[in-house]
Amino acid sequence: MRAYILRRLLQSIVVVFAVTTIMFFIFRIVPADPTAMMVERGMSEEARQALLKEWGLTGSLGTQYVSYIKNLMVFDFGESFFYKKPVWDVLLPRIVNTLWIAVPGLLMGAAIGAGLGMVVGWSKRGSATERSGILVATIIRGTPSFIIGIALLAIFSSWLGWLPGFGMGDANGKTGIARFLQGDFLIHLILPVLAITIYFLPENLLLMRSGVAENRTEDYIELVRAKGVSNSRVAWHAGRNSLLPLITWLFPALAETIAGIVVIEIVFSWPGIGRELVMAVTRQDFPLAQAAFFLLAVMIVVANFAADLTYGKLDPRVVYR
Amino acid sequence: MTLNTHETDFDRKLNAKPPVELSVRDLRIAYATSRGPFRAVDGISFDVQPSSVLGLVGESGCGKSTVVKSLMRLLPDGTQVDGEVLLNGQNVLAMTDGALRKTRWNKIALITQSAMNALDPVICIGDQIIESIQAHENVSRKVAWARAESLFTLVGLPTARLREYPHQFSGGMRQRAVIAMALSLNAGLLLADEPTTALDPIMQDQIMSRIRAIQDRLHRSMILVTHDIGLVAENCNTVAVMYAGKIVEMGPVEQVLVAPEHPYTIGLHNAFPRMLAEGEERPPLISIAGGLPNLLNPPSGCRFHTRCPFATDRCSAQEPPLREVQPRRSVACHHAGQAVDFRRRATNPETWATAARGTS
Amino acid sequence: MTTLVKYTKQSPSRRWSWLTDPLAALIRDRFALGGLIILAIFFLIAIFAPLIATHPPFESAISDTGRLMRLQPPSADHWLGTTTFGQDVFSQFVLGFRVTLMVGVLGAIAVGVISTLFGVISGYFGGWVDDVLMRITDIALSIPTLPFAILAVGLLGPSINNIILVIVLLFWRNGARIIRSAVLTERERVYVKWARTAGASHVHIIRCHILPNVFRVIFLWVTMSVAFAVLTEASLSFIGLGDPSTTSWGQMLNTAFTSGNLRSAWWWVVPPSLALVMLISSLYLVGRAFEEHANPRLRAK
Ligand SMILES: Nc1ncnc2c1ncn2[C@@H]1O[C@H](COP(=O)(O)OP(=O)(O)O)[C@@H](O)[C@H]1O
Ligand code: SF4
Ligand SMILES: [Mg+2]
């Protein structure tokens, strides 16, 4: 077990390393001169050189690469061009903000989706519940996340006027955890979280549904029914077994899900890491963009790692080697 | 074989349960398929006396499992089931869902063929056993677990392995676990659907003698489904032979297996190796050529006529009813009276070869 | 994703069954049929878009009094009203069919070709090619899709070509994996082995035995890729990284959003939103029917 975790950790590090390397080359090679866009804004040659130096863009590609990796290893992303502060100082609060909407949204989406998926999967083949469940889930799955956001804004914010849909509310001068534990913030939290929930729900539903629909014809289900347990208990067995493929899918799916969250942050003007990434790219703030991208990639690697460990907990057949 | 287990009060209470009498009347089962109803079982009736063992034999696909599942109402949604399944006079097919739930496992339990996925792969075996107990008996987890331990001892498994998962068991051990689970509430009727088919011969023997020993001790009523005539001879009191969804011959084992009257039974008998008397010459093993007819469109008259070496014109025109030829002995063949002649001719491989040629 | 595509053998004797069986399944499935009909209508609109559009998409309508006709609700002249710049929403919307479907189809075809190439080579020949490819996809799968697209388009510049390029870079990797595992199954089939021992060339085996049998997997992936491509383009455009010279639906929504009219100008917001949902959902419905058809455990008996 420990050997497995170590090996898996090593693998993750290799993947992060590879992603970083790709990033290095994208940033060095794609814009022939990354400062070109600043130059147009009337940058002096000295300032340009200073900027290049600051970004580690002087010297040979080899030395650049080494210093780049060195910096990343200690999470030193340099200084944001736009904010004139260390990138880390800009991003850390953004990450916290993103987690505030992403974690509850994803958890609720997965839980409600899996629950409904069980109901739909357990309903009779060809029944109204099954067919409508599949149709509605597929349509929501086909709805881009920003349209879910726009719809929620239109209904709850503009039309009913119940909930705010812009930003995180007033900080009222509070910092730390107190900043988040005030009514105004929590009310602002509702719509983005709801959007993420709705966005993440249908795929969970559909996967759970096909898992349960597949499992219900398995021999072991017949034996469970023969034992005379309640119908919901039989469904529980099918659901428990369908959880495994769901988990395998769930964590890697975060890669795609993050995409939706980025856009949802923009719709609700939520100052998270995704929105910061977009703004950094449009402002040509490359150190910031690069770091935001790097952190998102690390999140996915960590999620995959977590998936493997969870899977082992849920499936006794998994042997860690 | 002795079965020394440490009995708890709960064990004693369950062991006192009486065996059940089963009476099946005119059972008809049609699966719903995309090409219309598939009549897998077509009007069969039989009885299982308390504490006796009925053998249900017939080649694969003749509808044995369908019959067994119908007794517990385990057939897929949309399957049409008619007739009566009387458990101590109560019709299982007419029960409410609640009553059915209480009857399952309490009065009828199932020993399935333990292929890899007969048990839930992600739940430990002990929990699967106590699930069946706690679904019916209001006992603590501890009492239920103790019961599971004595069941494991009964089937010859170390109790420590209750905490293991199905994939950690060998085929034979899984089969024992399935038997232990079937015995968990000491149901009055046990349905064993090919309990040893997936196992190697040595393991088959072990499992069957285990089942016999349990039967000797607990006196359950039982249906043993198999396509192995040898197992029927060793374990059953009565035997019913099925062909294409119908019972073609039924009676006490001594009679049916020694002097079969239906040509299909005669053929089955020929197809299996048996113990030879001292000095007896081994007769050739002859199998019945051809396969089961398509039940979406069953043959006219006797369903066996397409493969029967003794078929006449009457056989394809008129369906032979299951008639009582002696007390407790019935046969569905127009020419049952010629059984002695049939049995003699059936030992000649040439007889079966012509039948095969006739159909092709 | 990989585990979703299960796989059944088709009789090699029925020559066109690889094409007719899945098509028949699509038509039998009511949802998929609905999806196909919507897709057909969308394609027709896309083809005839320039004829249907009533105004040049970027022309600002000026009233008789010489004022910019901003945010007009639907009228006889402007069927779906005007934007905040006085542009005709209907014309932008109709031309959006073209942009969206072009990105979707071109992107998906490129993804399909590359995925098939890599998947077949990797699955059929195995060995080090396979190892290298699988390691590459391992790494590629850890790259967050939209953030990558944002960065790449941000660096390369927002144009339709770059958007398609990014889509291909993003989605070939999953496709290659799925097609590879289908090819792996196919490679082990008895008749493929016979063909090999009988001395058939690799090209012949791939063309006659492998490709027809993995066709449904390829088709499924191309269908899904159209959806992913449309979604990616729409998301990028909504964020503000769309090609400024076109009028895609994502871009219309972006303009409505950034100009602060998302909440009031329903005629500007609803049509592109609805069209996106219908298009992507239809593609998913078609894909779903395919998946279900390929999965014997889900198919009704
Ligand atoms: N769920 C089902 N739907 C349709 N036909 C079935 C189903 N289950 C079994 N059958 C068919 O019913 C017949 C009897 O099957 P079964 O009872 O399993 O036979 P046996 O147990 O004697 O081998 C077979 O022809 C089988 O193909
Ligand atoms: S009725 Fe005729 S066909 Fe049927 S078993 Fe008897 S002899 Fe054979
Ligand atoms: Mg059977």
* Interface residue C297 vs chain B (CB under 8 A): no
In this complex, which of C4, C142, C235 lies closest to A263 when CB atoms are compared?
C235
Residue B264 alpha carbon to ligand 2 centre in Å: 8
**Same structural domain for residues B263 and B222?**
no
pLDDT of residue C2: 35
C261 or B77: whose pLDDT is higher?
A: B77
3-state secondary structure of C200: coil
State percent of chain C over pLDDT 70.
86
- Tell me, yes or no, whether B125 lies in a domain: yes
pLDDT per position as a tens digit, C81-140: 767 776 777 778 888 888 899 999 999 999 999 999 988 888 888 888 888 877 787 777
C 65-124 → B contacts, CB under 8 A? none
Crossing angle of the two packed helices C145-156 and C160-187, in degrees rounded to 10: 140
Q: What is the CATH number of the domain that holds B102?
A: 3.40.50.300
With 0-12 / 13-18 / 19 or more C-beta atoms within 10 angstroms meaning exposed / middle / buried, residue B275 is: exposed
Task: Please identify, by atom number, the ligand 1 atom nearest to the C-alpha of residue B68.
Answer: 17
Question: Cα(B120)–Cα(B204) distance, rounded to whole angstroms?
Answer: 23
- Tell me, yes or no, whether B292 lies in a domain: yes
**Same structural domain for residues B169 and B305?**
no
Where do the H-state alpha helices sit in C10-88?
17-28, 30-52
**Same structural domain for residues B128 and B231?**
yes
Residue A41 alpha carbon to ligand 1 centre in Å: 79
**Same structural domain for residues B168 and B102?**
yes
In this structure, what token pair is assigned to residue B311? 């078929």
Question: Cα(A313)–Cα(A119) distance, rounded to whole angstroms?
Answer: 24
Ligand nearest, relative to CA of residue B296: 1
**Same structural domain for residues B256 and B231?**
no
Task: Please identify, by atom number, the ligand 2 atom nearest to the C-alpha of residue B303.
Answer: 4
CA torsion through residues A173, A179, A181, A185, sign = positive
Question: What confidence category does residue B289 fall into, taking pLDDT thresholds of 50, 70 and 90?
Answer: confident
User: Of B210, B236, B262, which closes a domain?
Assistant: B236
Q: Indicate which of C146, C226, C257, C273 best probes the interface with A, i.e. most A CBs within 10 Å of its own CB.
A: C146
Give the residue numbers spanning the domain of B110.
12-17+53-74+94-236
pLDDT of residue B278: 59
**Same structural domain for residues B182 and B305?**
no
pLDDT per position as a tens digit, B325-343: 988 899 999 998 898 899 8
Domain boundaries, chain A: 90-284+302-314
Give the residue on C whose Cα is nearest the Cα of B37: C301
3-state secondary structure of B236: coil
Structural domains of chain C, ranges and CATH numbers in brackets: 93-300 (1.10.3720.10)
Count of domains for chain B: 2
Q: Which residues of B touch A316 (CB under 8 A)?
A: 121-122, 124, 165, 167-168
Question: What confidence category does residue A319 fall into, taking pLDDT thresholds of 50, 70 and 90?
Answer: low
Crossing angle of the two packed helices A128-141 and C266-294, in degrees rounded to 10: 120
Residue C214 alpha carbon to ligand 1 centre in Å: 31
Q: Does ligand 1 lie within 6 Å of residue B66's CB atom? A: yes
User: Of B206, B236, B266, which closes a domain?
Assistant: B236
**Same structural domain for residues B207 and B66?**
yes
Residues with beta carbon inside 6 Å of ligand 2? Answer: B 262-263, 302, 304-305, 308, 310-311, 315, 320, 333-335
pLDDT of residue A158: 74
**Per the CB < 8 Å rule, is C1 touching A147?**
no
With 0-12 / 13-18 / 19 or more C-beta atoms within 10 angstroms meaning exposed / middle / buried, residue B29 is: buried
Nearest CA, atom 7, ligand 2: B311
**Same structural domain for residues B66 and B178?**
yes
pLDDT per position as a tens digit, A22-37: 877 777 766 545 555 5
Where do the H-state alpha helices sit in C85-159?
89-125, 127-140, 145-156
Question: Cα(B57)–Cα(B265) distance, rounded to whole angstroms?
Answer: 9
The string of DSSP letters for A128-188 reads HHHHHHHHHHHHHHTS-HHHHHHHHIIIIIIIS--S--SSS---TT--THHHHSSHHHHHH
pLDDT of residue A54: 65
Which is nearest to C80 in space by CA: C242, C213, C275? C275
Contact criterion met (CB below 8 Å) for B24 and B209 = no
Which is nearest to A279 in space by CA: A94, A78, A36, A75? A94
For residue A206, what are the contacts with CB-CB under 8 A and spacing of at least 6?
A: A117, A134, A137, A138, A141, C288
In this structure, what token pair is assigned to residue C253? 């929504």
Contact criterion met (CB below 8 Å) for A253 and C144 = no
Question: Does the interface predicted TM-score (ipTM) exceed 0.90?
Answer: no
**Same structural domain for residues B203 and B64?**
yes
pTM of the model: 0.81
**Per the CB < 8 Å rule, is A30 touching C155?**
yes
Instruction: Report the residue among B42, B56, B62, B194 best suited for mutation to probe ligand 1: largest number of ligand atoms under 8 A from its CB.
Output: B62
Give me the mean pLDDT over the C245-255 stretch.
86
Return the minimum-mean-pLDDT range out of A165-169, A262-266, B196-200, B211-215.
A165-169
Return the minimum-mean-pLDDT range out of A289-293, B88-92, C56-60.
C56-60
**Same structural domain for residues B116 and B57?**
yes
Q: Is a pLDDT exceeding 80 seen at residue B358?
A: no
With 0-12 / 13-18 / 19 or more C-beta atoms within 10 angstroms meaning exposed / middle / buried, residue A156 is: middle
Question: Cα(A207)–Cα(C83) distance, rounded to whole angstroms?
Answer: 41
Ligand nearest, relative to CA of residue B30: 1
Q: Is a pLDDT exceeding 80 seen at residue B108?
A: yes
Q: What's the CATH number for A90-284+302-314?
A: 1.10.3720.10
pLDDT of residue B30: 95
User: Could you tell me the strand order of the sheet in which B22-33 lies?
Assistant: B36-48, B22-33, B80-87, B90-91
pLDDT of residue A19: 81
pLDDT of residue C12: 47
H or E element: which one contains C53?
A: none
Give me the mean pLDDT over the C54-78 stretch.
70
A273 or C6: whose pLDDT is higher?
A: A273
Give me the mean pLDDT over the B236-249 stretch.
94
Give me the mean pLDDT over the B283-305 stretch.
81
Question: Cα(C187)–Cα(C130) distance, rounded to whole angstroms?
Answer: 14
Return the minimum-mean-pLDDT range out of A126-140, A207-221, A242-256, C142-156.
A242-256
B5 or C237: whose pLDDT is higher?
A: C237
Q: Does ligand 1 lie within 6 Å of residue B113's CB atom? A: no
Q: Does ligand 1 lie within 6 Å of residue B76's CB atom? A: yes
pLDDT of residue C124: 85
**Same structural domain for residues B349 and B262?**
yes
Write down the mean pLDDT value for chain B.
88
**Same structural domain for residues B216 and B290?**
no
Question: What confidence category does residue B236 fall into, taking pLDDT thresholds of 50, 70 and 90?
Answer: very high
pLDDT of residue C157: 82
Question: Cα(B149)–Cα(B126) distance, rounded to whole angstroms?
Answer: 8
DSSP state of B46: E
Question: What confidence category does residue B360 fall into, taking pLDDT thresholds of 50, 70 and 90?
Answer: very low
In this complex, which of C142, C239, C281 lies closest to A15 when CB atoms are compared?
C142
Q: CA of C66 to nearest chain A CA: how many angstroms apart?
A: 32
Question: Cα(B329)–Cα(B343) distance, rounded to whole angstroms?
Answer: 17
Residue with tokens 């309903």: A123
Q: Which residues of B touch A314 (CB under 8 A)?
A: 122
- Tell me, yes or no, whether B7 lies in a domain: no
pLDDT of residue B180: 92
pLDDT of residue B349: 80
Write down the mean pLDDT value for chain A.
81
- Tell me, yes or no, whether B38 lies in a domain: no
Q: Does ligand 1 lie within 6 Å of residue B243's CB atom? A: no
State percent of chain A over pLDDT 70.
86
Q: Which residues of C touch A277 (CB under 8 A)?
A: 147, 150-151
Residue A140 alpha carbon to ligand 2 centre in Å: 62
Q: CA of C202 to nearest chain A CA: how many angstroms apart?
A: 34
Distance, CA of C54 to chain centre: 28
pLDDT of residue C10: 41
pLDDT of residue C61: 64
Return the minimum-mean-pLDDT range out of B235-239, B297-301, C127-131.
C127-131
Q: CA of A194 to nearest chain C CA: how many angstroms apart?
A: 18
